[in-house]
Amino acid sequence: MHCAVLVFPGSNCDVDLYKAVLHLKGATVEYVWHKGTDLDRFDVILIPGGFTYGDYLRPGALAAVSPVIATVKKAAESGKLILGICNGFQILIEAGLLPGALLPNQNLQFICDVVPVKVAQSDSPFTSSYQLGDVLRLPIAHSSGNYYCDEVTLKKLEVNGQIAFCFPAENNPNGSIAGITGLLNEQRNVLGMMPHPERAVKQWLGTSDGLGLFKSMIKHHIA
């Protein structure tokens, strides 16, 4: 499984993501600058967290019109796996690859913590190594992770099984509707999530619960 880690001005989790993939058996990885437009050699495209373009206008808004994103859209249409983490999730929404919006956290503060995250969908290329209902411990670090959509869209997401991860009802740190913190597209080959699985792949990091996501993608690739 050959992975691209996209890099934008202001990306700051690209190295974490690169190293997480680098140490996976069965995976290789390269950085791709945001002006690149050739992603044909990659099986998986990873969009890391950070503060692309200083979060000017809205988080992810300027990165969403970078040259590479047009190619990402074509890759998504062809069925390649696309994963956006934190700011990467914001970019996917701004680019129209996922529905809804990510608003400022309900408390209007930056949140940096390790929190419980529930697996709401185990039937996807990103989550098949988990069991439905598993509660993971994953890091979050964001100021605009408050997912919102209208009631019609929410119902559609629930019916289609597009909600991949959610915060438990009793522990929703940013106010997201239905606790949503990980979202799939209808074809289930695009995932955006606010928690950072790349920071949770070794037990010495405090939790290795993010490893299952990367193992799921490898399993999907070799299937």
Query: What b/e string do you get for 153-191 counting C-beta neighbours within 10 Å, with b at 16 or more?
Result: ebeebeeeebbbbbbeeeebbbbbbbbbbbbbbeebbbb
Structure tokens at 114: 């390790």
HSE, side-chain direction, 13 A CA sphere, residue 186? 7
Q: Enumerate residues 6+ apart whose C-beta is below 8 A from 46.
A: 3, 4, 5, 6, 17, 21, 29, 83, 84, 85, 88
**From 3, 13, 198, 220, the catalytic residue:** 198
Residue 94 among the catalytic residues = no
Judge whether 86 counts as a catalytic residue: yes
Q: Which of 13, 86, 149, 166 is catalytic?
A: 86
Alpha carbon distance 161, 119 (integer Å): 12
Query: Is residue 23 annotated as part of the catalytic site, yes or no?
Result: no
Question: What is the set of active-site residues?
Answer: 86, 196, 198
